[in-house]
Structure 1
């Protein structure tokens, strides 16, 4: 049970595994008005940056769950480095089947709604762990502009145009699921650049160190094509944001 190695190569230098900067992640934490002792569950937590930095800044407590053993190791090390290892715990487990033993105040899935088979299924996963009146955080892509053809769709890392919705349609979908959207923080093109472009340097440095690795050909092909594809399609067409939700 683990992620393919290509994920850890791409994001080897990243602490935040989505198109948020440190500043945007901090903005989201402030927007939630988190009280000390707020209990959180973060499904598909990656390297745990949200839990760790919010534990330090807002004194929250919580658990992060991720299928990547490398990411969970990095999350535990980050918690120790920030002095919050007594406030947060990280588990190597399948987030799709994990529920909190005791209901939490905030349940999140930031940029990994595939664990629930999409937005609707992920909202249901989060509800399983949430106390009445609690808050859900869902990170999800949306179309900034409607892609004109299949090349733009695939260049934006989607398989079909229907895989994502426009921002208004995504917010409408949340309403159809019986939740209010009470806050949102959106990535911008600069924060997308910082997330995606940093992957290219990670890949290049890995290739220089591992020219004979079995993944070298695959990663070389990705580095050759990814920058142009991102600049031509993904940067203009694909948005991303974290949406703060409460059951009606």
Structure 2
């Protein structure tokens, strides 16, 4: 049980595996008015940057669950680096169907709503771990601009235009599910650049070290085509944000 190697090749030097930045997560943590001692569950927690920095800055505790062995080890190392290993733990496991052993104050899935087969299923899954009155955090793409055709949508990492909605429609989806949207912090093009462009140097360094690896042709193809594709499509059309929800 693990992520395919291509993901860890692309993002081996990422602390954040989505188009948020450390500054944006800090803004979100402040905006949520996190109380010391609050307990958090972070499903698909990646390298643990959000949970670790919020433990350091706001005194929260919590558990992160992620399917990647590489990212889970990076999360544990980051917790040790920031001196919060006694406050947070990181579990290598499948976030699909994971429910906390007791209700948490904050339940999050940042950028991996595939664990619930979409937004509605992920909201339902997180709700099973959340105490009444708790905060739910969902990280999800939306269309900043609707692509002009299906090929542009595919070039923006969708399978079809219908995969994502414009921002007002995404917010309406949360409301239709019975939740108030109480905060949001959105990625911008600069933070998209830091997420996407940082992959290119990681891929090039990996290729230089591993020219005969079985994945080398795929990595070479991505490195050759990805920068122009990203600049023309993802950067222009795809938005991304973290939305804080409270059940009505």
TM band (smaller chain): over 0.9
Task: Give the TM-score of the pair, scaled to structure 2.
Answer: 0.99
Gaps of at least 5 residues in structure 2 are none
| 1:69-95 Cα shifts (integer Å, max 9, x gaps) | 111000000000100000000000110
- The Cα shift of 1:97 comes to 2.0
Alignment RMSD: 0.5
- The Cα shift of 1:150 comes to 1.6
Residue in structure 2 matched with residue 128 of structure 1 by the alignment: 128
Residue in structure 1 matched with residue 220 of structure 2 by the alignment: 220
| 1:136-167 Cα shifts (integer Å, max 9, x gaps) | 00000000001001221011000001100100
Residue in structure 2 matched with residue 2 of structure 1 by the alignment: 2
Structure 2 Cα separation of the partners of residues 197 and 149 of structure 1: 25
Give the 5 Å matches for 1:1-248: 1-248=1-248
SS in 2 for 1:36: coil
- The Cα shift of 1:20 comes to 0.8
Deviation beyond 6 Å, 4+ runs, structure 1: none
Structure 1 Cα separation of the partners of residues 79 and 92 of structure 2: 15
SS in 2 for 1:42: strand
SS in 2 for 1:120: helix
Task: Give the TM-score of the pair, scaled to structure 1.
Answer: 0.99
Structure 1 Cα separation of the partners of residues 222 and 18 of structure 2: 19
| 1:186-230 Cα shifts (integer Å, max 9, x gaps) | 000000000000001100100000000000001110111100100
- The Cα shift of 1:21 comes to 1.1
| 1:96-144 Cα shifts (integer Å, max 9, x gaps) | 1211001000000000000000000000010010000001000000000
Structure 2 Cα separation of the partners of residues 84 and 155 of structure 1: 40
